Amino acid sequence: MGKLTFVVGAGLGYVLGTRAGRAQYEKIKKASSKVWDNPRVQQNVQKVESRVTELARERGSAVTDKVASTVKDRLHRSGDQSATGQGYAGGDAGQAGGSSDSTQSQSGF
């Protein structure tokens, strides 16, 4: 995957950076279309697509569970910090009766 990303990036950089003009762009576009339309390339694309779909089905619920767990953990930590006033610029901004002046003086405005 890293090599493909590099080749695509290098090709895109060349196309965007070249001063050869429209003719060079059309030449590159034609060559890339030939590669993309090659039956062997399309066969490999289909293999990758089916493998990604298979992996998504196999591991989709595990990923969903992991994301949900991480979000809950982060929300729990954030709740702990907001209860003590930590994690905010004013420090006491989460407390009742905290003035906006204290936050402004700490931020330098």
Summarised one tens digit per residue, pLDDT across range 48-99 is 999 999 888 888 778 888 888 899 888 888 776 655 555 555 544 444 444 4
Per-residue pLDDT for 109 more than 50? no
**Cβ density class 48-74: b for 16+ within 10 Å, e for less:** eeeeeeeeeeeeeeeeeeeeeeeeeee
Question: What is the pTM assigned to this prediction?
Answer: 0.39
**Two tokens at 3?**
């090599």
Q: What are the structural domain ranges in the chain? A: 1-37, 39-78
Which three-class secondary structure state does DSSP give residue 7? helix
Nearest-angstrom CA–CA distance, 92 and 33:
61
As a whole number, mean pLDDT of residues 101-107 equals: 47
CA–CA gap between residue 95 and residue 85 (Å, rounded): 7
